[in-house]
Structure 1
Amino acid sequence: MDNIKDLQAMDLSLPSPAYIFAVILFGVIGYAAYRYGKKTDHSSSKWLGITMMLYPYAISETWQLYAVGTALGIGLYVFR
């Protein structure tokens, strides 16, 4: 329990369960899109898949994670 208090004292916090769920969800969708793009030689699906797997490292807010993930998912649907 002291470790959590130490992290909070350093202004660090753990991500929420909704954030972790979104990272896993969009990572799995991105991996599937990458595999599909690689198998069918669709470069747009492949690059959107890579983007979906990597963008959570650059976003710290949960609502932004869902917004960007939804936009990339729509992009996958449109450019397939």
Structure 2
Amino acid sequence: MQNYIRKRAVKIAHHILQSSDTVRRTAEVFKISKSTVHKDVSERLPRINKELADQVKSVLDKNKAERHLRGGEATKKKYADENGSIKLD
């Protein structure tokens, strides 16, 4: 594994731990794909630092468990008018 990939994986891990960002948001911040973020934290990071990888995994598992709530909020915002009431078709 090349050194810049190791450094990126560790930077991504620290970012996720500090911000509790999702894989999607982390990918936006680092300007890389979601697949790259996922591969860095799930495959590469455990080979670099197992303890750090376990901490990141717990944050991502929490995000995954809560994603249905975030999705519901996005849909609610999408269909809400400027007064906050839901528009029905």
TM-score w.r.t. structure 2 length? Answer: 0.31
The structure whose Rg is larger is 2
TM-score w.r.t. structure 1 length? Answer: 0.33
